[in-house]
Amino acid sequence: MADILKIAKKKGTPVFILDHKKIRENYREFKEALPRVQAYYAVKANSNPEIVRTLYKMGASFDVASFPEFMIVHENIKNLSKKNRQDFIWDKIIYANTIKQEETLRKLDQYKPLVTYDNIDELKKIKKHCPHAGLVLRIRVPNTGSMVELSSKFGAHPGEAVDLILEAFKIGLIVEGISFHVGSQCNNFENYMQAIQLASSILKEAESRGHKINILDIGGGFPVKYNNKVKSFKTLARKLNTEIDRLFPKTMEILAEPGRFMVANAATLVTKIIGKAVRDGKTCYYLDDGVYHTFSGIVFDHCVYPLKAFKDGEKKVCSVFGPTCDAFDTISVAEELPDLEIGDYLYAENIGAYSIASSTYFNGFPPAKVVHINK
């Protein structure tokens, strides 16, 4: 911890310290555990261009959900790719947002991308504005036990899946794959098993109707060990490997969209106490970062980031707030910290995913500075 404190004192706070060695370790762990699966990093988890470059060099592909994310990937790997600027899109990017603006589709068409859809209106929109795309049908699957539920917003009902595949071919489009997402930070591995079995049934029926599909995208949701209640990723990987080998031939291309898994534990935030007060007998600390900035994951990601001090001492329950004038900017009302003073530093680990990605400039406070280590 001495190294991150030294960085904070040199660069100023708040400072978001991103460890690329850890990102590479996470990628290797993923590939070793799931050798048949090509990792498409979910850029939305943390869209820092340096992360894109690090993962591309490791062999990753990318899942994007907006045209700006698409361009972050495009601009940061096109000069690293041996292919020309359009050909590398084929095996390096999937546009995995099922709802896309017409303008976005028109911009994407020249790249002949792989895009997802989950309803008839989106299919018609793709036909009109992005007819050169390859399609992946996203189906709705159980999200029970996941930290962030996605099935109420995305995914075709499995009973409609084959009809949506047939309709795509009927209007002259090509469905290359089927996808699902069990929800972010999934701690219920049965979700994956049910989803894979659903996908297998749909693919078999589609083939019986004359359309063989060769891509299965198993989405994201791979658990990060935030605490001891989180189940083992290696246990999940063994289950996935067994089920994939049982249900799909070796010719089936298997994709996944890990985001949190690649970056959550690769970043540490260092923040400074800028104010201290006692209210109703409880000590309150005010930091130079809050929920409108790096701690946004508390709100949007249902995540908790325990704060740690660089000082020792008896810990007492306290409240911790961000720097803005909004009472909503509350990091915790039950943090346990030693007695601290204005100017002291705190840090939060495992804060690399869905945190700084949602930072704002609310009240004029800028996002944390980003420092890269072990590049």
Give the pLDDT score at 2. 74
DSSP code of residue 83? S
Q: 361 pLDDT exceeds 60?
A: yes
Give the pLDDT score at 94. 96
State the pLDDT confidence band at 83, using cuts at 50, 70 and 90: low
State the pLDDT confidence band at 228, using cuts at 50, 70 and 90: confident
State the pLDDT confidence band at 153, using cuts at 50, 70 and 90: confident
Give the pLDDT score at 80. 75
Give the pLDDT score at 1. 74
Going along the chain from its start, the domains and CATH numbers come out as 2-15+265-373 (2.40.37.10), 20-264 (3.20.20.10)
Query: What number is the average pLDDT over the span 26-31?
Result: 97
Whether 355 contacts 349, CB under 8 Å = no
The residues that are catalytic are: 325
Which range (60-64, 121-125, 222-226, 326-330) has the least confidence? Answer: 222-226
Q: Distance between CA atoms of 233 and 187, rounded to whole angstroms? A: 9
Q: How far is CA 110 from CA 74, 88, 91, 113, 186, in A?
A: 13, 13, 15, 8, 36
Q: Distance between CA atoms of 295 and 305, rounded to whole angstroms? A: 8
Q: How far is CA 242 from CA 35, 93, 200, 256, 371, in A?
A: 12, 27, 14, 16, 40
Q: 86 pLDDT exceeds 90?
A: no
Which range (31-40, 126-135, 297-306, 345-354) has the least confidence? Answer: 297-306
Cα-only R_g, the chain: 22
Name the nearest CA neighbour of 115 among 66, 153, 157: 66
Give the pLDDT score at 152. 66
Give the pLDDT score at 187. 83
DSSP code of residue 358? G
State the pLDDT confidence band at 82, using cuts at 50, 70 and 90: low
State the pLDDT confidence band at 88, using cuts at 50, 70 and 90: low
Give the pLDDT score at 145. 55
Q: What is the mean pLDDT of the chain?
A: 93
